[in-house]
Amino acid sequence: MIKNPLTKEEKQVIINKKTENPFTNEYDSMFKDGVFYCRQCSQPLFSAEAKFNSGCGWPSFDEHFPGSVVRKPDSDGIRTEIICSNCKGHLGHVFEGEKMTEKDTRHCVNSLSIKFIPKSNEGNIEVAYFGGGCFWCTEAVFKLIPGVISVISGYSGGSKDNPSYEDVSEGNTHHAEVVRIEFNNVIVTFDDLLQIFFEIHDPTTLNRQGNDVGEQYRSIILFTTIEQEQKTKRYIEVLKNTGIMAVTQVIPYMVFYQAEDYHMNFYENNPNNPYCSLVVMGKVKKAAELIKKRNLSLPKS
């Protein structure tokens, strides 16, 4: 099981079973449409539809997704602890008999134990995270696309805080080489980005893209909205129905670590690098053709 890196405060709650302060935590008074995931392992736990205002100072839910939460007698011998069924991380406590909702159940959860992913983004600016092999390639490709505001190379999806390129290359961090894409979804849609992403890499090879072999080169999408998750899974299902058995990992975004400065704009800054001229250039040319086919005008040089 791959576990997401945790901050000192998150470890205090999830690992050491401490309780964060009431009324000042991130999700107590937040009510938006989406899903709450386990911050440590990314398992979906609660739908936003199950959240209600209990007045207790912590996020409260009267229902969890089937099989996602386990109850345990608390060490104080009085309360009942709730933990994530997948990673066993501490979530909070459950109470019954308070008559606050029809289900008469209150899962009192620490905000630091969960991560909220909204159903859709608010406004025109959206962020996506894609990994499809070496980030020199993916960065160069997505920088071509009209409507893309910025592309940053980095590491995500693993278990080590602030990894270096050397750490990731050793294969022990579980991080993948990914790019953070900020884009205007009025000009270019997430569907456009999905098609280009799946066309410029091989989603059927596990932990490998061409001669680049290792877990860091796996095909991965870290969704930032439920809408992105649904669109990605539908796209993968369509691919499978056409005989393309994609092994792309689809997980909620948790944390992103920007790569070292020398990785930024690598293709532009190193045109004579053999990898750039042999591998990256081919992907860039293919992406340019796809952009034209989708009637997206290439930016002026």
Catalytic: which of 38, 41, 108, 134? 134
Per DSSP, 235 falls in state H
d(CA 70, CA 93): 10
Q: Could you identify the residue written with the tokens 């901050």? A: 7
Query: CA-based diameter of the chain, in Å?
Result: 70
SS3 300: coil
Tally the C-alpha atoms within 13 A of residue 13's C-alpha that lie toward its C-beta: 22
> What's the one-letter identity of residue 7?
T
Confirm whether 134 is a catalytic residue: yes
Backbone angles phi, psi at 281, to 5 degrees: -60, -40
How deeply is 144 buried, as exposed, middle or buried, from its count of CB atoms within 10 A (0-12, 13-18, 19+)?
middle
Name the E strands within 88-225.
Answer: 90-96, 105-109, 114-118, 125-132, 148-156, 176-184, 208-209, 212-213, 219-223
Locus of tokens 């040319």:
285
Residues with catalytic roles:
134
